[in-house]
Structure 1
Amino acid sequence: MSLLVVAAVLVVLMAAWAAFAIAYRAPGPMLARGVMVTLWLAFTLGVLVILLRHDARLALLAFVLAFVLVSLWWRSLEPSNARVWADDVARTLRGQVDGDRIVLDDVRNFDWRTREDYTARWETREYDLRRLASTDILLSTWGRPSIAHMLVSFGFDDGEHLAFSVEIRREKHEEFSEIAGFFKQYELSIIAADERDIVRVRSNVRGEEVTLYRLRLDAQQRRALFLAYVGEANRLAATPRFYDTITTNCTTLVYHLARPIFGHLPLDHRLLRTGYLAEYLERLGGLVPGVALADLRERGRINDRAKAADASPTFSRDIRVGVPGVGDDGARLEPGRRHPP
């Protein structure tokens, strides 16, 4: 392959990236961004014609200079915590730790009736870390079995559960796009929420298929992972970050939080193909032993139980009935201490 062909391929790849970046992040309305993308592609086409037919050095110099300008603009884009956010990600979780006592501000506890009809509630809650009793992972799929959203839920010995979710922090006018997630479209958010909010909205309101697995963690690991979530939430509240579909998503961020706690955790394609994350956890010995994965998956499907429980105060206990590894730790459901915002 000649050097000119290699140069042309590189120009096409770099131009394609820049076109997406302009399309998703350039200022102005959609029509203006469309015009900018069209002009960029026309410029790239001209560069390719000159590169392959006339003066390669002139063409490459012109493209490199233009690409440097696009790159400088791209690097100038900074994440922010000050935008007009969608209601369900409007606030940022913050936590104060005092020994075994932890106070969390802006825990979400929405009452969902439909996707658009809900009562917004943000609460301050207080927990005793000595009472951490269990950790579960919930995988939620919505059409493609290879892609799932992951939540990690911590149970306390009084039956209370608190679920953490790494999510995009989208603005009011935005919808989620996996492609846009590559191009600094969304900030990163960690939500801590009551399961009657964050689990129920997926299983009962959106109609996603939710599967719950009990994780094999000891008391020290549970505590460390809980505090790692809170620590990362505090960092995001102070210094916002962009979400990225591959490098900083609902699974990869938790992977980086977990590595200092659990030691070596191998990289695996299932960290990205999150619908198969349970297979990865089983390989690591992180799920209930002595039960086939197919049985764990079947008995862990909570949708029917969630719909039957709906907004019941025993929702967390009810969705765990029959889940392997779950004992009677949820037999008494007594809401933790909370204070209105």
Structure 2
Amino acid sequence: MKSNRTSATSIVSRVLLGLLTIMTGSWGIFALIFSEPHNDIVRSILATAFGVASLATLIALGFRRWHWQALAGYFALFSLLLIWWSNIKPSNERDWQIDVAMLPYATIEGDLITVHNIRNFDYRSETDYTPSYYDKRFDLSKLEAVDMVASYWMGPAIAHIFLSFSFADDNYLAISIETRKEKGEDYSSIRGFFRQYELIYVVADERDIIRLRTNYRENPPEDTYIYRISGSIENGRRLFLEYIHRINKLNAKPEFYNTLTTNCTTSIWLNTRVNQTHPPFNWRILASGYLPELLYERGKLKTDGLTFPELQQLSHINARAQAADDTVDFSRLIRAKDINLTPTTIP
């Protein structure tokens, strides 16, 4: 009986060690495939070699005589991989794509916050534009509301979420948490797990960051919605200030983007922790397309008694944005036929 229990324990242990080897081996292969600055051939050789080592370790688990030696060798190799990985550092000094080349920052004087390098490109198409930036001073005491923008391009489950802060006299400042890509670099969700992109808070005029999505994105087109967040105005002010601190921190010390832990929605959720009433985590924060419905269910959106489908329909702004185009009154016009978006703010 004791022998049977020992045998069963040994089998379970080997299965668990096998799963651990598969997970660490898969991670190591991808990390090496996407590693820099080596060329494609070097990356392929290193990834293949590590894959062979992982496979050999899995096979050795089936042999009592070899498996401990194989595991010791494999995890020594994996430890070297982790040491190499820990020495991959983010940088603010790369050959950036033009739309993320300029980092924003802010100077704070009490309630007066001057935001520098607010992006306001003049678009002729998604890829043809004239870069332009400006600085603007905002009075934190005059923050009136926070809006959530949700832009969809690949079905209902995935959306890019960002916030726009509304100040008195129709002054809006949009802040979008994104990947800072180098020239010639495309976005990949898988690459986003492996320190391939720096993190950037794009601070932009709504005529730039919203109009780009509603008027110029065609492949694929994007459907964009604006929802007003409900709650305490003081929470909104604390959240705005937290964003400003994060922007300044990234300007001084770069960080990596991560597809899971520092994407557009998880970063917003992490920032809301500055408020005691921040919402608890929910899987729909990861399936970002469902975030507006989640906030609706939790009473965090201004609804005026509408059902969520009704609210969603009224919040769709593509047609209004296309009609407004580059007018100075763009922000007011894209909200003109929405529900009564009176000043309220963040949860």
TM-score by length of 2: 0.90
The Cα offsets for residues 168-191 of structure 1, whole Å up to 9 and x where unpaired, read as: 111112111111111111111111
- How do 1:294-333 residues align onto structure 2 when only pairs under 5 Å count? 294-327=309-342
- How do 1:116-131 residues align onto structure 2 when only pairs under 5 Å count? 116-131=127-142
Equivalent pair of 2:242/2:274 in contact (CA under 8 Å)? no
- Tell me the distance in 2 between the aligned counterparts of 1:45 and 1:323: 58
Decide which of 27, 48, 63 is 1:17's aligned counterpart: 27
- How do 1:225-244 residues align onto structure 2 when only pairs under 5 Å count? 225-244=239-258
Equivalent pair of 1:214/1:325 in contact (CA under 8 Å)? no
- Tell me the distance in 2 between the aligned counterparts of 1:6 and 1:96: 53
Q: What's the secondary structure of 1:184's corresponding residue? A: coil
**Aligned residue number for residue 52 of structure 1:** 62
Instruction: Give the letter aligned to residue 272 of structure 2.
Output: A
Equivalent pair of 2:112/2:140 in contact (CA under 8 Å)? yes
Q: What's the secondary structure of 1:251's corresponding residue? A: helix
What stretches of structure 2 of length at least 5 have no aligned partner? Answer: 1-10
**Aligned residue number for residue 125 of structure 2:** 114
**Aligned residue number for residue 223 of structure 1:** 237
Equivalent pair of 1:27/1:33 in contact (CA under 8 Å)? no
Equivalent pair of 2:145/2:343 in contact (CA under 8 Å)? no
- Tell me the distance in 1 between the aligned counterparts of 2:14 and 2:121: 58
Q: How many residues are aligned here?
A: 329
Q: What's the secondary structure of 2:34's corresponding residue? A: helix
**Aligned residue number for residue 163 of structure 1:** 174
- Tell me the distance in 1 between the aligned counterparts of 2:319 and 2:343: 20
- Tell me the distance in 2 between the aligned counterparts of 1:85 and 1:262: 37
Q: Report the CA distance between 1:3 and its aligned residue.
A: 2.5
Q: What's the secondary structure of 1:114's corresponding residue? A: coil
What stretches of structure 1 of length at least 5 have no aligned partner? Answer: 330-341
Q: Report the CA distance between 1:246 and its aligned residue.
A: 1.0
Q: Report the CA distance between 1:44 and its aligned residue.
A: 2.0
Percentage of pairs with the same residue: 38
Q: Report the CA distance between 1:327 and its aligned residue.
A: 5.0
- Tell me the distance in 1 between the aligned counterparts of 2:342 and 2:75: 62
Q: Report the CA distance between 1:128 and its aligned residue.
A: 2.0
Q: Report the CA distance between 1:212 and its aligned residue.
A: 0.6
- How do 1:262-341 residues align onto structure 2 when only pairs under 5 Å count? 262-289=276-303, 290-327=305-342
| Distance 1:144-1:299 versus aligned 2 partners, 3 A rule | same
Q: What's the secondary structure of 1:139's corresponding residue? A: strand
- Tell me the distance in 1 between the aligned counterparts of 2:302 and 2:258: 31
The Cα offsets for residues 77-121 of structure 1, whole Å up to 9 and x where unpaired, read as: 111111111111112211111122111111111112222211111
- How do 1:82-97 residues align onto structure 2 when only pairs under 5 Å count? 82-97=93-108
Instruction: Give the letter aligned to residue 13 of structure 2.
Output: L
- How do 1:190-269 residues align onto structure 2 when only pairs under 5 Å count? 190-206=201-217, 207-269=221-283
Range with bigger deviation, 165-174 or 212-221: 212-221
- Tell me the distance in 2 between the aligned counterparts of 1:202 and 1:144: 15
Decide which of 192, 208, 219 is 1:181's aligned counterpart: 192
The Cα offsets for residues 191-221 of structure 1, whole Å up to 9 and x where unpaired, read as: 1100000001111111211011011133322
- Tell me the distance in 1 between the aligned counterparts of 2:13 and 2:133: 59
TM-score by length of 1: 0.92
Q: Report the CA distance between 1:262 and its aligned residue.
A: 4.2
Equivalent pair of 2:272/2:278 in contact (CA under 8 Å)? no
